[in-house]
Amino acid sequence: MQELNNKIAELLTNNLVSIFISYKRGLNGKIKPAFFTKPDEVDENYFGDEAQQNLAVYVHKPEVKKYSKVGILANIFALKALLQLYAENQIKDNYLTIVTVNQDNKVIVFADFNEIESYIAQHQIEKNTDEHKEIDKLLSLPREERWEFWVEQLSSCIKCYACRAICPMCYCSKCTVELNQPQWISVPAHSLGNFEWHIMRMMHLAGRCINCQECSRVCPMDIPLHLLTTKINSDMEEEFGQIAGTKTTLDFALNTFKVDDYENFIR
Amino acid sequence: MKILSGKIMNYKTLKIDNLDLFFNEIKKSGKNLLVTKKKGTTTYFSSFININDVDFNYIQTTISPKSVLFPKVEELISFKKDDGIYVMTEPNIEKETIVFGLRPCDAVGLEYLSNFFLNENSDFAVKLRKENTTLITLACKNFDENCFCTSVGLSPASTQGTDICLTDIGNGLFHVEIITDKGEKLIAEHSALFSNAEKINKENYVAQVPLKFDCDNFTKNIKDYYNSEKWVVNSLSCLGCGACAFVCPTCTCFDIEDETNLVCGTRLRCWDSCAFGIFTLHASEHNPKPMQSDRWRHRVLHKFYYSKTNMDTISCVGCGRCIRVCPAGMNILEQILDLQEA
Amino acid sequence: MENNNMYLPYLMKIDKITCEAPSIKTFKLKFINKEDEESFNFKAGQFGEYSIFGEGESTFCIASSPTRKGYIECTFREVGKVTSALANCEEGDIIGFRGPYGNTFPIEQWTGKNLIFIAGGIALPPLRCVIWNALDLRDKFKDITILYGAKTVDDLVYKYELEDWKNRNDVKLITTVDPGGETQDWTGEVGFVPHILEKYPPHSNNTIAIVCGPPIMIKLTMPILMKLGFTNENIFTTLENRMKCGIGKCGHCMVGNNYVCKDGPVYRYDELLQLPLEY
């Protein structure tokens, strides 16, 4: 992808960025994140179908932040994540130069987040009907059977927190599980502790998750976390008309209070 | 890795068709039998139910079998307040377990793990579990680009650390090497299924894994690499999760947590990882290893340097799990080769 | 217990609680079980894991001297989950204790030498065991000097013992507080510990220095000792690091290839210099 490589090299040469986050092929042939700091490194750059990881997660990393001007190659999910992060005030102005390659292989360097908002509006992600069929099948089960399904799935969790580490929206400097006064969530990976962790995480993500499904991809135990993320996303859309990662301004039902709320407990 | 030139006690053959009978006999004897099962694209250890579920051709399981000695959660003590005083009880660890189908590298990994826990301040739980566990390894016919057992002094034909080793020699037969008394005892309990055999040249029947790096050279020079920038460069993609430590057969770090309902409670031990940011964090908020690169460097140095000075062996078996499982493409081989590059 | 479970604690009764300074308390602990008390012994420098059942365990040195039988003492600051639960305990409560763990001050090698103890703030407790050990065997040593400083007068720990040491004529005690930390009636020195060390320089000839304090204090104190002629083999310190198991297994306290809980916490300065700065 010569046009992309040229653009990245140009950004580095002209000092518009001091580090550029993209992809490259690793020693074992798999595609992995690349962190280019010099133009001659860009020959290793990869772009294509094998580039899966959502790179937006790296914009929080202190080792990356210290470069102050960071460039990033963002696929559609990374764009949504970055837009949501921007809406949540997690991205300083002039920190990022965001680049994407559209379906016609054209390289786009976004001038600002308003452009990203328009781009995302024009590139809707199709709903995965297989996933929704699986969710509907689970919802059709009696409550006890659905419970048993998740007990079995979550009992294999080893609390490695790969799901948390890979998620661009999990950026808390001290995660709830790392607090011990009180110990909100059990640390050991027993069944109850695993339930507490996953339920809490989904609740903290509802309305913010952009459904990139990286958490599910990276889980060593193959827990179908994507079923949970897809469900919370469709619930937020149905109940509140909200889709995360689509606006530059925060529109978050779960922390918004309206005086004319039809529930009276809050009045 | 020091390879023990363990004397092989006996050779046998076992018809692959007899495996079902062997497994069912073991199950009937009341022992816990773990076999390798396929689930989607991964293979994992699980209790034997049906011979058709058993996966013989996997390259490596996602997660190591170390849970048989060192489970992800276990009780150290339980306590109850009784009449103003605490009464403590200890867990019951008894069940005899057979693990079938693990790879030779894992047997060496489990040997390191049990040596680590049993030397000085010996761990009662690991000791009991080890006494009650019999290992049957399955020599590798295949490998992938992430395997590097030969670079750390091992091989797909290794019999170190196992009780029984099986090699598929074609024509529906396993060649069986009995390494320990424990292995001998198990075979004797099912002797009708095994036939006597002679030694064979195993190299003809196992994978040939190419060398990736010179380990002796690496461990000799490793203390000079401490201040290298290459630790930082190679750990930029690391996100500090615990996946590599948890799937690794030789990672032994753990946390101790109390859980209680104010009437009674337990003190639990669970897996921990030196990659987590809070692993070394003091209550004063001082962190001796504040950057992810410090923690990454510690992991690699522990495997190739610290365990060598403390236990006279490196503690990496080249199984490649950490590379396969890493969500962010971290690769210990890439780090080693980068450091060795002049 | 037949299993030899290293995680089974001794049951201890809190015999006496002393409030040393804001957020700092000392517990005097007695063994519930007579056989435990009789078989228990330790050496100066060792530590233990003190636990509240249901909250967890915390690591503190054994702050009392091994020359005194029948009880042990620990001093801790309320700073986290377990220490907060300990701070809420009352005399008569039961807690758990595992130990003694770690290596020891080689006090038997110091016979006939001068000793100077230098400590700052909450770092006096790890030295208190070896100070009392030395004072209880006073004839074995030559001059004993204690230099101790804290942020303010209120932050000084073991206030009664400081009086005790001040009044002894076989110990030279110098106490100091940071500039601004003095009160109207403070009669001790005012200045950071390293500066006061320069003001009252000890002779390095035939002297062992035992230093314990926050990293910044150690960093500034060591060059002064070097200037006075102390060598790396004549200076000892005791480290602290995040600990869980206390027996060299869980990996939290590792500094290079050392487990601070097992290979330490006492280090001679030349040994410490061999280790990476991961503490």
- The per-residue pLDDT for range A139-149, each reduced to its tens digit, is 999 999 999 99
- Between chain A and chain C, the number of residue pairs with CB atoms below 8 A apart is 6
Residue B338, pLDDT > 70, answer yes
Residue C6, pLDDT > 50, answer yes
Judge whether C182 lies within some domain: yes
Residue A222, pLDDT > 50, answer yes
Mean pLDDT of chain A: 94
Judge whether C263 lies within some domain: no
Amino acid at C13: K
Distance CA B284, CA C241 (A): 11
pLDDT of residue B2: 45
Q: How close B306 gets to chain A, by Cα (Å)?
A: 24
Maximum Cα–Cα distance for chain A, whole Å? 63
Number of helices followed by number of strands (H, E) in chain C: 7, 15
Q: What percentage of chain B exceeds 90 in pLDDT?
A: 89
Residue B118, pLDDT > 50, answer yes
Contact list, B39 vs chain A (CB under 8 Å): 222
Residue C234, pLDDT > 90, answer yes
Quickly state the pLDDT bin for B342 (edges 50, 70, 90). Answer: low
Q: How close A192 gets to chain C, by Cα (Å)?
A: 17
Distance CA A171, CA A212 (A): 16
Of B144, B147, B136, nearest in space to B102 by CA? B136
Exposure class string for C127-162: b at 16+ Cβ within 10 A, else e: bbbbbbbbbeeeeebeebbbbbbbeebebbbbeebb
pLDDT tens digit string along A146-159? 999 999 999 999 99
Cα dihedral: B66, B69, B70, B72 (round 10): 70
Q: Which chains neighbour A (Cβ–Cβ under 8 Å, 3 or more pairs)?
A: B, C
B219: which 2 tokens? 């461990």
Judge whether C48 lies within some domain: yes
Quickly state the pLDDT bin for C3 (edges 50, 70, 90). Answer: low
Q: What percentage of chain B exceeds 70 in pLDDT?
A: 98
Mean pLDDT of chain B: 94
pLDDT of residue C45: 96
Judge whether C250 lies within some domain: no
Distance CA C101, CA C124 (A): 19
pLDDT tens digit string along B133-143? 999 999 999 99
C78 and C31 in a common domain: yes
What average pLDDT does this structure show over B284-302?
96
What average pLDDT does this structure show over B108-114?
98
Judge whether C3 lies within some domain: no
pLDDT tens digit string along A71-106? 999 999 999 999 999 999 999 988 999 999 999 999
Q: How close B65 gets to chain C, by Cα (Å)?
A: 19
What average pLDDT does this structure show over B230-246?
97
pLDDT of residue C10: 96
Residue C1, pLDDT > 50, answer no
Q: What percentage of chain A exceeds 90 in pLDDT?
A: 90
Amino acid at B273: S
**Residue B247: φ, ψ to 5°:** -85, -15
What average pLDDT does this structure show over C244-258?
96
Of A82, A76, A231, A252, nearest in space to A169 by CA? A82
Q: Which of B225, B279, B312 to mutate to test the interface with C (most CBs of C within 10 A)?
A: B279
Query: ipTM, 2 decimals?
Result: 0.94
Contact list, B255 vs chain A (CB under 8 Å): 187-188
Q: Which domain holds residue C21?
A: 10-101
pLDDT of residue B40: 80
What average pLDDT does this structure show over A104-115?
96
C113 and C52 in a common domain: no
pLDDT tens digit string along B257-288? 999 987 899 999 999 999 999 999 998 899 99
What average pLDDT does this structure show over C87-96?
96
Judge whether C16 lies within some domain: yes
Q: Which of B242, B247, B329 sits opposite A26 (nearest CB)?
A: B329
C215 and C95 in a common domain: no
pLDDT tens digit string along B22-79? 999 999 999 999 999 998 888 999 999 999 999 999 999 999 999 999 999 999 999 9
**Interface residue C229 vs chain A (CB under 8 A):** no
C117 and C71 in a common domain: no
Judge whether C255 lies within some domain: no
Nearest C-alpha in A relative to B43 = A221
User: Please, where are the H alpha helices in chain C?
Assistant: 34-39, 81-87, 125-136, 159-167, 193-199, 215-227, 269-273
User: Length of chain A, please?
Assistant: 267
Distance CA A55, CA C210 (A): 51
Q: Which of B79, B123, B305 sits opposite C249 (nearest CB)?
A: B123
Quickly state the pLDDT bin for C228 (edges 50, 70, 90). Answer: very high
Contact list, B279 vs chain C (CB under 8 Å): 242, 251-252
Q: What percentage of chain A exceeds 70 in pLDDT?
A: 99
What average pLDDT does this structure show over A187-212?
96
Mean pLDDT of chain C: 95
Quickly state the pLDDT bin for A267 (edges 50, 70, 90). Answer: low
| Per-domain residue ranges of chain B | 10-204, 215-340
Residue B6, pLDDT > 70, answer no
pLDDT of residue A259: 80
CATH value at residue C153: 3.40.50.80
Distance CA C65, CA C46 (A): 10
C19 and C88 in a common domain: yes
Could you say which residues from 30 to 89 on chain B have a Cβ atom under 8 Å away from some Cβ of chain A? 39-40, 42, 62-63, 72-73
C32 and B85 within 8 Å at the Cβ level: the answer is: yes
**Interface residue A180 vs chain C (CB under 8 A):** yes
Contact list, B243 vs chain A (CB under 8 Å): 160, 162, 218, 220
A158 and B145 within 8 Å at the Cβ level: the answer is: no
Amino acid at A39: P
pLDDT of residue B293: 97
Residue C108, pLDDT > 90, answer yes
> What distance lies between CA B121 and its chain's CA centroid?
21
CB C61 within 8 A of CB C53: no
pLDDT of residue C215: 81
Distance CA C234, CA C212 (A): 14
pLDDT of residue A80: 97
pLDDT of residue B295: 98
Judge whether C243 lies within some domain: no
Q: Cβ neighbours of residue B155 under 8 Å, at least 6 residues apart?
A: B104, B149, B206, B209
Helix axes B104-118, B124-131, angle to 10 degrees: 140
Quickly state the pLDDT bin for B5 (edges 50, 70, 90). Answer: very low
- Residue A209, judged by CB atoms within 10 A of its CB (0-12, 13-18, 19+), counts as buried
Contact list, A73 vs chain B (CB under 8 Å): none
B256 and C278 within 8 Å at the Cβ level: the answer is: no
Of B160, B260, B158, nearest in space to B206 by CA? B158
What average pLDDT does this structure show over C74-86?
96
Beta strands in chain B (DSSP E): 10-15, 32-39, 42-47, 73-82, 85-89, 97-102, 133-138, 164-168, 173-178, 194-196, 254-260, 264-271
C117 and C95 in a common domain: no
A234: which 2 tokens? 């469709």
Residue B9, pLDDT > 90, answer no
Distance CA A146, CA A148 (A): 5
pLDDT of residue B82: 86
Exposure class string for A8-39: b at 16+ Cβ within 10 A, else e: bbebbeeeebebbbbbbbbbbebbbbbbbeeb
Number of folded domains that form chain C: 2
